[in-house]
């Protein structure tokens, strides 16, 4: 496959950023420094990065409760992300969203989403905007295998198909919806084949192979940009952590986890580019070091940032609304 | 300047508001089930078949085309969510939820997405969306097509809620709602579509959050919503003969609430009756009664009375349905208790 060198370095840098970010979040969470709870994306890096490699800031993505990887792949500032997880006023959402709602509309990132199946209709809306305005923007809709069973996902695929919207549905099948295996919750033998019901292309991809994701997403996104309508990709992957931090992961075996770690997307990428002489080891190592510094700085930035003032609770509900009625008799 | 007015219906006033805004702003689109009708059928492709189930959106498709007047599948979660997504990314969609009772199938997209995105994103997003929806009993439409339910939406931070009672208000408020940068749920009472009134030609805006004194009076304040404004006015007319002078306040917007207008009137009349066709528990009526007790207690010379629907679904048979809907007589009885 012909991927420019600069893009290869970008793919590696984004995947490593996601991995280091998530590993660090796991640490900080375990140390009790993060409020709420977090769902980590480590292991699935190739999917977000392989898809977003074809998108610009003008394109949109919708995401899931496991949204940090999508944010990083779409170019959201890592410092503002870390600060958001720490609940600080410098956070991407000023501390109002947290992990499950982390967003940056200016980067085309329409939010992690705490509702499973919440994103697909929103992606149709972004696609509709592009169609009405006659632009070549596209919307990529990430959703999990759990969301594949939500009505909204099916309604959105049907709507995108009948209106020929520039939407690419990316099912990240990480094999478990919380603790429930997809082979139990899904009546079909694969999720990609459901595309046939909506008369759109459906492709099953190895979600730990960034080259495979890149190629399949490239075709689907090009099709959307040409105005030929939506596609569905099912990317099979694996999350290294549990559903959430604190999940004892009793539903998976050690053997299964080891097997998936042997297919690690970042290691595979390294092997491929090094064996083919596409990028040098020194270059990859330099990226590793730069990413490590960036993550360290992000944590320091977050820790040094102030908490929002309590009254900040009352802002950003509306563009325009009587303040006294927001505070009510508070 | 003399503004030309003519007598048109509530339905025509709404149609005119949408038409004028679609002419003025190419990012305004409208979507819903059968709002043009007959999509994909050659002989009606350019003219539409229905124009909405009660004709509010008639002939819009002829002027603006299928690209901006979008018939949707019967897929409320899908298209209401798409309207939210389109609003966040640069359109001003008007989505029609045919009957408000259907909110059950798409509430997540309204409540967890549309209403909360701006807040959860730290103010970085705007959601300039209007959801028009039909409310009200009196049509024999029974339990799943007759509710008001505006209290449910008024309860939710992030949403604004509007319920016009007259053609004039319907047009000016809908234009304001379309231009508003926040999500607005716009409630149209199905028994009002055929009512008529003076409406100016051209554009005008009635600001959201402003109530209107529909009848001035000095003895008792009656606060009413949507069709109940007309019920209040009838009760007021009947009591005028007995020398009871009723002030009728039409809320027009439920969120934000024009607290000042209510309290000002209360300071004058010292008595309050609230009429609401919605169910009574956690209702707009109860909210206004609480406001009066909290901020207007010193004005009150009598208990606050609520005249509402009972705590039941809307029944089918006319005898029961008429019992369900607050009547002028019930309003008169409530007023007599306090004056």
Helix (H, G, I), strand (E, B) or coil at A3: coil
Q: Using a CB-CB distance cutoff of 8 angstroms, which residues of chain A are in contact with residue B77? A: 121, 151-152, 155
Residue A326 has a pLDDT of 93
Catalytic residues of B, which ones? 145
User: Given an 8 Å threshold on Cβ–Cβ distance, is A129 in contact with B90?
Assistant: yes
Residue B330 pLDDT class (50, 70, 90 cuts):
very high
Tokens 């169910």 belong to B279
Architecture of domain B5-200: 3-Layer(aba) Sandwich (3.40)
Strand locations in chain B (E) = 5-9, 28-32, 69-71, 92-99, 130-135, 160-162, 184-189, 196-200, 212-215, 220-224, 246-250, 253-255, 272-276, 305-308
User: Given an 8 Å threshold on Cβ–Cβ distance, is B73 in contact with A101?
Assistant: no
Q: How many other CB atoms are found less than 10 A from the CB of residue B296?
A: 21
Rounded Cα distance, A39 and A47, in Å:
16
List of residues 6+ apart from B291 with CB closer than 8 A: B257, B259, B262, B263
Residue B1 has a pLDDT of 58
Q: Which of B158, B284, B289 is nearest to B228 (CA)?
A: B284
Written as six digits, the tokens of A269 are 């990428």
- Inform me whether the C-beta atom of residue B11 falls under 8 Å from chain A C-beta atoms: no
Residue A135, class by beta-carbon neighbours within 10 Å (0-12 exposed, 13-18 middle, 19+ buried)? middle
- Inform me whether the C-beta atom of residue B256 falls under 8 Å from chain A C-beta atoms: yes
- Inform me whether the C-beta atom of residue A308 falls under 8 Å from chain B C-beta atoms: no
* CA of B35 vs chain A CAs: smallest distance (Å): 16
Angstrom distances, CA of residue A124 to CA of A198, B82, B247, B282, B294: 14, 5, 48, 35, 45
Q: Which of A306, A324, A304 is nearest to A314 (CA)?
A: A324
Q: Using a CB-CB distance cutoff of 8 angstroms, which residues of chain B are in contact with residue A321? A: 160, 182, 256
Quick one: average pLDDT of B126-145? 97
Q: Which ranges of A205-264 does DSSP label H, i.e. alpha helix?
A: 210-225, 254-262
* CA of B26 vs chain A CAs: smallest distance (Å): 9
Mean pLDDT by 10 residues, chain A (330 residues): 92 98 98 96 98 98 98 98 98 97 97 97 98 98 97 98 98 96 95 98 98 98 98 97 93 94 97 96 98 98 98 97 87
Domain ranges of chain B: 5-200, 212-338
Angstrom distances, CA of residue B35 to CA of B71, B111, B162, B311: 6, 23, 21, 33
Query: C-alpha angle B223/B265/B225, rounded to 5°?
Result: 15
Domains and CATH numbers, chain A: 5-327 (3.40.50.970)
| Interface probe with B: pick from A112, A318, A327, most Cβ of B within 10 Å | A318
Nearest to B86 among A125, A156, A318 (CB): A125
Written as six digits, the tokens of B114 are 């549309």
Residue A1 has a pLDDT of 66
Residue A330 has a pLDDT of 67
User: Given an 8 Å threshold on Cβ–Cβ distance, is B118 in contact with A316?
Assistant: yes
Rounded Cα distance, B134 and A248, in Å:
49
Strand locations in A163-304 (E) = 167-173, 176-177, 180-181, 202-206, 231-236
Q: Tell me the average pLDDT of chain B.
A: 97
> DSSP state, B139?
S
List of residues 6+ apart from B304 with CB closer than 8 A: B272, B273, B274, B289, B292, B293
Residue A328 has a pLDDT of 83
Residue A2 has a pLDDT of 85
- Inform me whether the C-beta atom of residue B196 falls under 8 Å from chain A C-beta atoms: no
Written as six digits, the tokens of B33 are 């089930």
Residue B168 has a pLDDT of 98
Q: Is the dihedral of CA A229, A234, A238, A241 positive or negative?
A: positive
Nearest to B89 among A113, A129, A318 (CB): A129
Q: Using a CB-CB distance cutoff of 8 angstroms, which residues of chain A are in contact with residue B117? A: 103, 111
User: Given an 8 Å threshold on Cβ–Cβ distance, is A91 in contact with B88?
Assistant: no
pLDDT tens-digit readout, B64-112: 999 999 999 999 999 999 999 999 999 999 999 999 999 999 999 999 9
Residue B3 pLDDT class (50, 70, 90 cuts):
confident
**Percent of chain B residues past pLDDT 90, beyond the cut:** 98
Written as six digits, the tokens of A19 are 């991995």
Nearest to B82 among A110, A124, A133 (CB): A124
Q: Which of A210, A238, A241 is nearest to A22 (CA)?
A: A241
Residue B2 has a pLDDT of 63
The CATH code belonging to domain B212-338 is 3.40.50.920
CA nearest to A98 within chain B: B120
The reply to whether the predicted model has a pTM over 0.95 is yes
ipTM exceeds 0.90, yes or no: yes
Rounded Cα distance, A214 and A208, in Å:
11
- Inform me whether the C-beta atom of residue B79 falls under 8 Å from chain A C-beta atoms: yes
């Amino acid at each position: 496959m012909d991927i420019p060198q600069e893009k290869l370095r970008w793919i590696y840098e984004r995947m490593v950023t996601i991995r280091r970010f998530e590993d660090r979040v796991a640490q900080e969470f375990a140390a009790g420094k993060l409020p709420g709870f977090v769902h980590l994306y480590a292991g699935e890096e190739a999917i977000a990065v392989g898809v977003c490699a074809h998108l610009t800031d003008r394109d949109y993505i919708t995401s899931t409760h496991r949204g940090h990887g999508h944010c990083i792949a779409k170019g959201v500032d890592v410092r503002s992300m870390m600060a958001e997880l720490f609940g600080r006023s410098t956070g991407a959402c000023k501390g109002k969203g947290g992990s499950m709602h982390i967003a940056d509309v200016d980067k085309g990132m329409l939010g992690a989403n705490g509702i499973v199946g919440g994103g697909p209709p929103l992606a149709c809306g972004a696609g509709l905007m592009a169609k009405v305005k006659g632009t070549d923007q596209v919307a990529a809709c990430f959703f999990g295998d759990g969301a594949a069973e939500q009505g909204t996902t099916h309604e959105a695929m049907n709507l995108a198909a009948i209106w020929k919207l520039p939407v690419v549905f990316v099912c990240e099948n990480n094999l478990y919806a919380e603790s429930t295996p997809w082979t139990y919750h899904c009546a079909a033998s694969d999720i990609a084949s459901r595309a046939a019901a909506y008369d759109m292309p459906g492709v099953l991809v190895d979600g730990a192979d960034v080259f495979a994701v890149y190629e399949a997403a490239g075709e689907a996104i090009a099709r959307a940009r040409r105005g030929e309508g939506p596609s569905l990709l099912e990317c099979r992957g694996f999350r290294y952590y549990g559903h959430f931090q604190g999940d004892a992961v009793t539903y998976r075996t050690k053997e299964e986890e080891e097997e998936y770690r042997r297919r690690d997307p970042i290691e595979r990428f390294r092997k491929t580019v090094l064996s083919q002489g596409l990028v040098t080891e020194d270059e990859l190592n330099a990226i590793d070091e730069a990413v490590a510094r960036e993550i360290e700085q992000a944590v320091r930035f977050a820790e040094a940032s102030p908490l929002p003032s309590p009254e900040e609770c009352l802002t950003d509900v509306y563009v325009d609304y009587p303040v006294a009625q927001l505070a009510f008799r508070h | 300047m003399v503004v030309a007015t003519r007598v048109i219906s509530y339905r025509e006033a709404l149609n005119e508001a949408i038409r004028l805004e679609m002419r003025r702003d190419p990012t305004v689109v409208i979507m819903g089930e059968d709002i043009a009708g007959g999509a994909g059928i050659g002989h009606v492709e350019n003219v539409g078949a229905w124009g909405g189930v009660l004709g509010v959106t008639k002939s819009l498709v002829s002027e603006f085309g299928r690209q901006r007047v979008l018939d949707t599948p019967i897929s409320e979660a899908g298209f209401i969510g798409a309207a939210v997504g389109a609003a966040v990314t640069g359109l001003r969609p008007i989505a029609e939820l045919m009957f408000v009772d259907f909110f059950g199938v798409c509430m997540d997209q309204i409540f967890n997405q549309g209403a909360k995105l701006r807040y959860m994103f730290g103010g970085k997003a705007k959601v300039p969306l209007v959801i028009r929806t039909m409310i009200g009993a009196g049509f024999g439409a029974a339990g799943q097509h007759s509710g008001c339910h505006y209290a449910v939406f008024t309860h939710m931070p992030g949403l604004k809620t509007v319920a016009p009672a007259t053609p004039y208000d319907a047009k000016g408020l809908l234009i304001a709602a379309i231009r508003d940068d926040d999500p607005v749920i716009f409630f149209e009472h199905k028994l009002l579509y055929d009512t008529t009134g003076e409406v100016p030609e051209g554009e005008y805006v009635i600001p959201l959050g402003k109530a209107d004194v529909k009848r001035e009076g000095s003895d008792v304040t009656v606060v009413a919503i949507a069709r109940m404004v007309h019920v209040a006015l009838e009760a007021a007319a009947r009591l005028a003969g007995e020398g009871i002078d009723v002030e009728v306040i039409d809320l027009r917007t439920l969120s934000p609430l024009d607290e000042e207008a209510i309290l000002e009137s209360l300071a004058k009349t010292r008595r309050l009756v609230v009429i609401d066709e919605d169910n009574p528990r956690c209702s707009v009526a109860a909210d206004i009664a609480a406001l009066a007790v909290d901020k207007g207690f010193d004005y009150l010379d009598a208990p606050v009375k609520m005249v509402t629907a009972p705590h039941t679904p809307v029944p089918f048979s006319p005898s029961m349905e008429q019992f369900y809907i607050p009547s002028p007589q019930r309003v008169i009885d409530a007023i007599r208790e306090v004056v």
